Amino acid sequence: MGTPAPIGAPARWLAAAPESVSVARRFVRSVVEGAGPDVADTAELLVGELVTNAVIHARTDVGVRAWRAGGRVYVRVSDQRPDRGVVPHDRHPYACTGRGLGLVEELATSHGVQRDEAGKTVWFELWTEAPAPPASAWETVTPADRTVTVTLGDMPYALYWAAQQHWEGMLRELFLTVPGEPPRDLVVAQDASNIICACMTTAVEQETPDSSTLSLRVAFPADAAAAVTVLRRVLDEAEAAAQQESLLALPALPQIRAFRDWLLDQIAGQLSGQAATAWTRLPGAPSATPVELAPWDVGEVEASSVPTIAADDGNRIIAVNGSAASLLGWHPQELVGQRLTVLMPEHLRDRHAAAFTSLLLTGQPRILGRSIPVPALHRDGRVVPVRLYVQTQEAVDGRTVFVAQLTTRTAAPAAPRAPRDGGHTTRPVPGPVHLPAMTKKAGRVGADGAGAQWLSLFADTSRALTSTLDVDDRLRRVCHVLTRQLADWCAGDLLDEHGRVERVCVVHRDPEVLVGEEHLGVLPPVSETTQGALPRVLRGAGPLLITEMSPFDRPLSALDARQVELVRRLGGGSAVVAPLRAHRGVFGALTLVRTRDGPPFAKEDVLRIAELVRGIALGLDNARLHRYAQHTAVHLQRALLPELPEVAHLELVARYVPSSTTAEVGGDWYDAFGLPGGRTALVIGDVAGHDLQAAVSMSTLRNTLRGIAVDRPEPPGDVLRRLDRASRTLYPHSTATCVYALIKDGDAGPRDLHHASAGHLPPLLTTWEGDTRYLDTGRGLLIGMDPDFPRPSACDRLPPHSTLLLYTDGLIERRGESLDDAMARLRRYTAAHAHVPLDVFCDDLIITFGADAADDIALLALRPTTPTGPPVTAV
């Protein structure tokens, strides 16, 4: 109850006005001055917070009483509104308001609240020798006599904390800046805000958050709809004023504003009898905003393979992963705490500061959610061309974090979002998985068992994920593991590049239960009438627990009908539908179902399953990235390969096959082009390396060679010498092999091939009669070794209908086989196929030699022809 005030203790009554706060602080300072500077400072701070609360929330005259006795300080703050209980807030370190009671709770030795018919008194005491203060002694808002339950579906709680803190700060700013008595609408809005915060806090405390979203049933006063509508209008007006810089408070960022509007509309609408609409069912949200439903986690940045940097609203770096730091020449710990501008060239820093300030002052994004090509500043002063993709995300403490992902502009940029939005994401990957202690029940892992069984389940799913690189196969194998230990049957769904939902697999515990093809493949699209758990999860909610899988009497959509039919076919009593999320985007869903024959899933299972599915999603996403990289590599490599020219009496065929064991682009290339004077140039080459730099070097080397060859009609050895000198200048640390050959266009008959080699495997000539020989004259050093070393040229006669084969080492080199044996094997093959049409010759060659190739293969085949066709071979 607190120490009773002595008779004659100093007291002051103050008006309900903002200026009373400073009066109260000076008054308390004068009374407790002799208690020591620390105690006096703390008392002044706390009384200022409590009087501010009384001015804003009670809006009556405020009484302040303070005294000092025996080295202790006692303060009482009273108002005349006993019906207006205090509203405690979570003490988020970045909250812009709501700190008053939190500070009292943290700094005071003892504290509490007393109420009687005349009013209420909030008190605190400071004892220099006292033990730690109690956890809490606050009363809460008195519940209303009649309430209506409002359903808030799929609510991202991190976004809720951010929105609540922002609008409370906005109202506080209005109250403390409006001269005189506050307008009635502002008073009504403040009261409505207090009611919402109190009711939401009560509802959240009754929940155990098992995912990034909460589906709450919140009891609000039945007559609060009109007040909530007024709050909505006041906040809209305050938002407009903040955007005009008429308030010190900053306007809300787009996703916070959209969520706040949804929340207030849901409360007011449902109190008035309207139907509920989940946040994930709201048109345009959350997909129209750059934020995902999952709260920001520093572990996601650190674990991501995509170069990622996170900054706060003060433009300071708060997290950076090794990929981003390495790209720009830093160690991650060196960047944390620095301004983001340290990574920008000098000429862009002012533009960035202006754009960032504009975003905070207006709430209007310019580059959020867009892939922007910009130069980044390397630590050594170099400029690194990158594509920048910035998104915002809320943390669980209410902060807004700016997450930037970087991709080098020489590569195809990673699509920043999941396929449902037309991209991949550049999503941060989920943070570290925390293994819970759980158990097995009736043959299944359950919520009340040993952690060793869950460790076994995690290990089994990990092995399933690493047993193959194919995404669909990984998902099937994981489902088999889950049905052996956790569920009776399991369904895996993935979003394709067009945003369609494809059911990859349905796996049942009993191998004799067959699932027909009609349950697999592309599912019907999500429509406005779709009401099942799957579309909610794909929109970002979940994991969702379904405790009763009663089919709809009349399914409202084609997707619901497919789901109902599957449950009828396989049975179902309870289920957990969990999102497959990585890089901040949902790319699929995993449905685990238990039939009525066994124990159902319980609420305690959901959090553990969520952790398990996060690891599964990461493994699947790695396979998706591998497949995406493979496709990108192939497309990029093929885009760099030329079209072959048409030359009279000369047949040309080329093939390129990427390695079957790597998803990286390589340096293999071929080329053929016409030159002045009726000559045709033939090129085969290989730049050292299997990475993007090798592909860039290859492209540059190829184009440089073309320019040199066209510029001067020189022998092949001289052309390679000039190419070597250019390469040494442009890429001093790059090496390559190359064969450059010239053949004179002309009539049918024998032709001369002028050629030179820079460390490349020799061309193979096979006559129509089956004689073979390697053209190993004209050999020289690799490109990049010594540009001044002499490079000889050679000349060999090509008989009509002979086959000249230029190739890279991936065609013949195999582990465990000597190069001489490999080259002899190639000679035997070409001799046996000398009469085969050239395109078939090349295709068969790839099939025979490329099946187990560990390297890329490029080949270029040439065959001189005659107007009368090939000679007739006697049988």
Note the pLDDT tens digit of each residue in 327-344: 888 988 889 888 888 888
Q: Across residues 184-210, what is the average pLDDT?
A: 80
Task: Return the higher-pLDDT residue of 773 and 692.
Answer: 773
Res 230: pLDDT: 93
Least confident of 13-27, 383-397, 550-564: 550-564
H or E stretch at 462: helix 451-466
Residue-level pLDDT at 159: 81
Where helices occur in 310-438 by DSSP H, the ranges are 322-327, 332-335, 346-362
Give the residue with greater pLDDT, 370 vs 811.
811
pLDDT at 635: 65
pLDDT in tens, 74-104: 999 999 887 776 665 655 555 555 567 777 8
Lowest mean pLDDT among 439-443, 522-526, 768-772: 439-443
Determine the pLDDT at residue 488: 87
User: At 243, is the pLDDT very low, low, confident or very high (cuts 50, 70, 90)?
Assistant: confident
Q: What is the pLDDT of residues 379-401, one digit of tens each?
A: 888 888 777 778 777 776 667 78
User: Which is more confident, 745 or 311?
Assistant: 311
Is the predicted pLDDT of residue 147 greater than 50, yes or no? yes
What pLDDT is recorded for position 802?
Answer: 93
Q: Are 300 and 429 in contact (CB under 8 A)?
A: yes
Cβ contact 87:392 at 8 Å: no
Cα atoms in the 13 Å half-sphere on the side-chain side of 593:
26
| Beta-sheet pairing, 308-311 with 400-408 | antiparallel
* Partner residues linked to 578 by β-bridges: 590
Can you give the three-state secondary structure of 300-347, one letter per residue?
Answer: HHHHCCCCEEEECCCCEEEEECHHHHHHCCCCHHHHCCCEHHHHCCHH
780 pLDDT exceeds 70?
yes
Residue 774: the pLDDT is: 95
Between 204 and 330, residue with greater pLDDT: 330
Task: Give the pLDDT band of residue 797 (cuts 50, 70, 90).
Answer: very high
Residue 182 scores a pLDDT above 70: yes
pLDDT at 343: 87
Task: Using a pLDDT cut of 70, give the percent of the chain over it.
Answer: 78
Tell me the average pLDDT across 154-180. Answer: 80
- 600-614, 634-648, 797-811: least confidently modelled range: 634-648
pLDDT band at 200 (very low <50, low <70, confident <90, very high): confident
Enclosing H/E stretch for 634:
helix 603-640
- Residue 443: pLDDT band (50, 70, 90) is very low
Q: Assess whether pLDDT exceeds 70 at residue 679.
A: yes
Flag the least confident range among 417-421, 460-464, 478-482, 640-644.
417-421
Position 767 scores a pLDDT of 94
Per-residue pLDDT at 439: 33
Q: What's the confidence (pLDDT) of residue 81? A: 83
- pLDDT of residue 446 exceeding 70: no
Which range, 470-484, 585-599, 651-665, 693-707, has the best average confidence (pLDDT)? 585-599
Number of H helices, E strands in the chain: 20, 31
pLDDT band at 762 (very low <50, low <70, confident <90, very high): very high
Instruction: Assess whether pLDDT exceeds 90 at residue 669.
Output: no
* pLDDT reading at 447 higher than 60: no
Instruction: Look at residue 554 and tell me whether its pLDDT is greater than 70.
Output: no
Where do the DSSP E strands lie in 727-784?
736-744, 751-758, 764-766, 772-774, 779-780
Q: Which of 162-166, 193-197, 270-274, 502-506: highest mean pLDDT?
A: 270-274
| pTM summary value | 0.52
Assess whether pLDDT exceeds 50 at residue 231: yes
3-class state of residue 828 by DSSP: helix
For CA atoms 290, 294, 299, 300, the dihedral sign is negative
307 Cα distance to chain centroid: 11
